[in-house]
Homo-oligomer: A and B are copies of this chain.
Amino acid sequence: MGWGSDFSARVASRDLTIGVIGLGYVGLPTALGFHDAGFRVRAVDVNEQVVARLEAGENPGDDPQHDDLIPAAQSDDWRVSTSYRDMIPDCDVVLVTVPTPVNTDLTPDLSFVRAAGASVFGSLTKGARTVVVLESTVYPGVTRELWGGLLAELELEEEVDVELAYCPERFVPGDPEHGVRQVPRVVGATNEDVGEGLAELYDTLTSGGVTYVGSIEVAEAAKVVENVQRDLNIALVNELARIFPSIGIDVEDVLSAAATKWNFHRYHPGIGVGGHCIPVDPYYLIQRAAETGTPAELISAARAVNRSMPGNVASDIRSILAANGVVQHDARILLLGWSYKPGIADARETPAEPLAQALRTSGMSVEVWDPYVDPAELPVDLVSPLASPFESAGFDMAVVVTAHDEVCDLDWAALAEVARHPLLYDGRRVLDVDAVAQAGWKLYLLGSPF
Residue numbers of A with Cβ under 8 A of B are: 140-141, 170, 178, 183-186, 188, 208-209, 211, 213-215, 217-219, 221-223, 225-226, 228-230, 232-233, 235-236, 239-240, 242-244, 246-250, 253-258, 260-265, 285, 288-289, 292-299, 301-302, 304-305
| Minimum CB distance partner of A218 in chain B | B253
B298 A239 Cβ-Cβ under 8 A:
yes
Which of these, B248, B262, B299, contacts A184 with CB under 8 Å?
A: B262
**Which residues of B have CB within 8 Å of A233?**
229, 232-233, 265
State whether B243 touches A211 (Cβ < 8 A).
Answer: no
Inter-chain contact B219/A297, CB cutoff 8 Å: no
Interface centre among A186, A211, A260, A295 (most CB of B within 10 A): A260
**Which residue in B141, B209, B218, B247 is a CB contact (below 8 Å) of A254?**
B218
Chain B residues contacting A247 (CB-CB under 8 Å) are 140-141, 217, 288-289, 292
A288 to B304: give the CA distance in the assembly, Å.
21
- Are the C-beta atoms of A298 and B301 separated by less than 8 Å? yes
Interfacial chain B residues near A292, Cβ < 8 Å: 243, 246-247
Contacts of A218 in B (CB 8 A): 249-250, 253-254, 257
Q: Which residues of B contact A225 (CB under 8 A)?
A: 240, 254-255, 258
Residue of B nearest to A182 (CB): B262
Instruction: Please tell me if the beta carbons of B211 and A257 are within 8 angstroms of each other in the complex.
Output: yes
Distance in Å from the Cβ of A284 to the closest Cβ of chain B?
Answer: 12
Known: A222-B257, A229-B265, A232-B233. A248 touches B298 (CB 8 A): no
* Choice from B178, B260, B299 contacting A239 with Cβ under 8 Å: B299
What are 29 A-B pairs at a CB distance below 8 A? A140-B249, A170-B261, A183-B261, A183-B262, A184-B260, A185-B260, A188-B257, A213-B256, A213-B257, A218-B249, A219-B257, A221-B244, A222-B254, A222-B255, A222-B258, A226-B258, A226-B261, A226-B264, A233-B265, A235-B298, A239-B298, A239-B299, A243-B289, A243-B294, A243-B296, A246-B293, A297-B304, A298-B302, A301-B301
